[in-house]
Amino acid sequence: MQKVLEVKGLTKQYTKVLAADNVSFDIGEGEIFALIGPNGAGKTTTIRMISTLLKATSGDAVIDGHSINKEPEKVRECITYLPDEAGAYKNMTGANYLKFMAGLFYTDPNKIIECVNRAKEICGLGERLNDKIGSYSRGMIRKLLLSRAVMTKPKLAILDEPTSGLDVINAIEIRKMIKKLAAEEGMSFLLSSHNMLEIEFVSDRVGIIAKGHLMVTGTGEELKQRYNAVNLEEVFERVVIENEIH
């Protein structure tokens, strides 16, 4: 399988806190990879470095052949990033927001229209897209932003806590959407979550991260077998305990 993302020893040192310590993993084409870990484990820091929003203290990540250190502009062309608790411009209508964002990726009007139509289909907001975003519920905004993140068919979509703040039905819809896009369009996803049960359902492979260290990576089944656990939550518990003993 061709690799879309290769992370090589990414490290982020804040003054006193080592937020990410030598994190390395890779994601193949059409693969859904999830970083799981508790709050403050370094998930968001790692994701921000890969999205070129933060400069890594050391290490590198290569996305579709472009290094985040040397060619951040090229990297931004092949990724989309959905931040945790992201918002949208409240005075714009949903449709205009999609058009504006598509206009940042493409200059060809036909391409832009194509993107917007795709996003309209994916988000399922229907007529509400003509209303101002200020009037949307949290779930609607999340759906709009998610459809925005995948409408340009990026090589890698980076979704930070994609279902945070959503009810069960909406969360399931979004999980299904991610799986479908990966299977049908061959898009790769990098997700992060602290909801391990959700991740078990949606992701092909997971990486468990705690206190800045990427402890272990593998498919859900592999990890469950290796740690003799019933679900990923148990795997996580054992990984963390094992790490503390050593």
Partner 1 sequence: MKFINLFQKELKELINAQMIASLVLVVGILMIVGNIMQNAISDTIEESTNPKINISDRDDTDFTKSLIETLKNTGAEVTEFDTDGDDYADILKKNDIKNLVIIPEGFTETIEKSECPEVLTVSRMTSAATMSNLSTGNSGAVALIQKSITSTIAQNSGITPEELELIENPVVLQDNTVVDDKSSAISIDNIMNKVMMQNMLLPIIVFLLIMMTSQSLISSISNEKIDKTLETLLSSPVSRTSIITAKMLAAAVVALINATVYMIGFSKFVQGASTEAVSEIASGVMGNVSVDEAIEQLGLSLSVGDYVLVGLQLFLTIMICLSRFNHARCVGKRYKIFTDRYHAHNDACNGSLHDFNGIRHKHSPYGIKNYCVRYTVYTHIFGYIKPHVRK
**Strand ranges (DSSP E) for the chain?**
3-13, 18-28, 32-36, 58-63, 66-67, 79-82, 156-160, 188-193, 205-210, 213-219
Q: Which CB sits closer to partner 1, 24 or 93?
A: 93
Closest to 139 in 3D by CA, of 174, 186, 104: 174
Contact 80, 149 (CB under 8 A): yes
As beta bridge partners, residue 195 has: none
Q: Does 45 bind partner 1 (CB under 8 A)?
A: yes
Confirm or reject binding of residue 51 to partner 1 (CB under 8 A). yes
Minimum gap (Å) between residue 23 Cβ and partner 1:
15
Nearer to partner 1, 108 or 221 (CB): 108
**Shortest Cβ 114–partner 1 spacing (Å):** 16
Q: Which of residues 144-173 bind partner 1 (CB under 8 A)?
A: 145, 148, 158
Residue 76 or residue 175: which is nearer to partner 1 going by CB? 76
Q: Which of the ranges 3-11, 29-37, 85-93, 119-127 carries the binding residues for partner 1, by CB under 8 A?
A: 85-93
CB neighbour burial string for 11-49, b if at least 16 within 10 angstroms, e if fewer: bbeeeeebbbbebebbbebbbbbbbbbeeebbbbbbbbb
| Site for partner 1 contains 95 (CB under 8 A) | no
Contact, 203 vs 7, CB < 8 A? Answer: no
| Positions that interact with partner 1 (CB under 8 A) | 14-17, 19, 44-45, 48, 51-55, 73, 76-77, 79-83, 85-92, 100-101, 103-105, 107, 145, 148, 158
